[in-house]
Each structure stands twice: as C-alpha cells, then as structure tokens.
Amino acid sequence: MNMAIRDANRIEAGTIEQLLASEISDVFLITGIDVSEDRISSFSLDDYVSSPPSHGLFTAIDAIVQSHYRFICHRMSLGLFNNKMISCDNLKIVFKSTIREGFTFMNGINPACWLHLGHGGIDKRLATHQEEWEDEWYDEIAIISNGSEQKDFIDAKEITSWISKNKGHIFFLGLPLCHSKNIGDVFEEANKIAFLYAVFDKDVNQMNEFYSAEQFFESKPRLGWNDWFYAIESSIQEHLYTWLKRNQVVTD
C-alpha cells in the first residue's frame, strides 16, 4: 500500500488485492488507557464495561476486529485454493497506557490494528527565516498525546518515523481525536497504513469523539465505524469472485 484509504467508499477489490502480500502482525494495540502503570497488565474490556467511556468505543473495536478477521480468513482461503497453507495467529488485544509503551512492546513490528484513546492538537511553532525583514509566521505541527491525558504531546512526524522503520503494515488505524485529520496526514506518509479512520480537523467534544463528525444539533449522530466493516467485507467478496474467475475456478 502507498497511501492510506481514509474514506470507506474508496475501498474496492483492488484494495484487497494490494493488501494480500502485506505482512500483518497479530496484535491489536489500544493505547491511551487511563489507568496507573501497575494496573495496565491486568486491564481488560471488563474495566470499560464497569466504567464506560465515550459512546462508540465498542462499535469501533468490533468493526476493526471483524474487518481484520474477514481479511485474514479471505487470505487463508485463497492460500488453500493455491494449495498453500498460510499460518495465522489469533488477533490479541494489548492495552498500553502510552504510545511509547505500546511501540516499545511491539519491538520493531507494527501492530495489525491500532486505536489511540488520547488527544490530538496543533502546535504553532515560530518559523525561522534567513531574511530579518520578513514578518513572523508559524508552522502548524500535528501533535498527539502520549497517553490519555492532554499533556506529553509527541510530534506526529516522530511516530511516523517509527511506523516507517517498523516491520509490517498497519491494517487499520483508528484516531478518535481532536485534529485527527491533521495527524493522519502525517502518519500516512509512512506508506504502511492500509485503512485510516481520522475524521476531525478541529477540536471535538469528548462525548462525540467516536462519531463520524461533530453533530451537536442532531439527536442521533452517526457512528461511521460500521461503514468500514461493510465496505471491507463487500470488497473482499468482490475480490474473491474476481479471483475465482481469473483462476478459472468459476465461470459466468
């Protein structure tokens, strides 16, 4: 994959074809967990059930897990048609308090899926000029919180370099954050992200962070995560039919 798909409507059979040869790990990394460091090893989805976060988290997790599962099953099926046994370890969720802890845990390998539950923003930094007479102006730098709190921000370019250097592709990256579009613009420069959910280009109310857009005046705002699952599943079915025809397994 070169550029990440950022609109579910753009997913097609050709997208799935490009992904087939990609190296994808077996870890679903969720960072930005709001617990103390000594509790993170025992953290589970049970903690979210007892103290629910913003509406939409479980929808996001389900859509990501199901999309990944459908793709892995599809790749394994094609392998069987070719008399090739493609091994696949079960996807496992790993919770980490911070992004740095998460990528340290991954040890040079990109997660199959990544969901960050922190904060995003824009840092305005004074640009330097060679000519003294020029007016002052500022560069806008996309930043992302290391953990769950609105502090300890990391330049998105630094994380992009980690993704770029690591082995494997990220199948799905979810950023339910303020200024996620700006952060996503930087992350996709790594050319190692297949599907990227990053919809906000401004600050967003924390209660709306999993919605498709900030819809303060609508009684039933949309959760767009399922659109990704339906699009990926539909494209897999289309690719399977095309592949079977191409290999003369089926005919019209």
With the C-alpha atoms ordered 114, 71, 168, 200, is the resulting torsion angle positive or negative?
negative
CA distance 229 to 65: 9
Q: What is the reported pLDDT for 47?
A: 82
Q: What is the reported pLDDT for 124?
A: 79
CA distance 18 to 169: 12
Identify whether 193 is part of a domain. yes
CA distance 31 to 49: 17
Mean pLDDT along residues 4-20: 94
pTM, rounded to two decimals: 0.90
Q: Which of 14-18, 49-53, 125-129, 220-224 has the lowest mean pLDDT?
A: 125-129
Q: Which of 56-65, 72-81, 168-177 has the lowest mean pLDDT?
A: 72-81
State how many domains the chain has: 1
Q: What is the pLDDT of residues 137-156, one digit of tens each?
A: 678 899 999 999 999 999 99
By three-state DSSP, how is residue 221 classified?
coil
* DSSP code of residue 91: P
The yes-or-no verdict on residue 176 having pLDDT over 80 is: yes
Identify whether 41 is part of a domain. yes
What's the token pair of residue 154? 């990391």
Identify whether 168 is part of a domain. yes
Residue range(s) defining the domain that contains residue 193: 8-126+137-246
Identify whether 252 is part of a domain. no
Identify whether 131 is part of a domain. no
Identify whether 69 is part of a domain. yes
By three-state DSSP, how is residue 142 classified?
strand
Q: What is the reported pLDDT for 214?
A: 53
Burial class (CB in 10 A: 0-12, 13-18, 19+), 217: exposed
What's the token pair of residue 160? 């992009």
Work out the angle at residue 250's Cα, subtended by the Cα atoms of residues 245 and 251, and round it to the nearest 5 degrees.
80
CA distance 215 to 211: 8
Q: Which of 12-16, 178-182, 210-214 has the lowest mean pLDDT?
A: 210-214
Contact 22, 194 (CB under 8 A): yes
Contact 55, 48 (CB under 8 A): no
Identify whether 78 is part of a domain. yes
- In 3D, which of 122, 124, 127 has the Cα closest to residue 145? 122
Identify whether 79 is part of a domain. yes
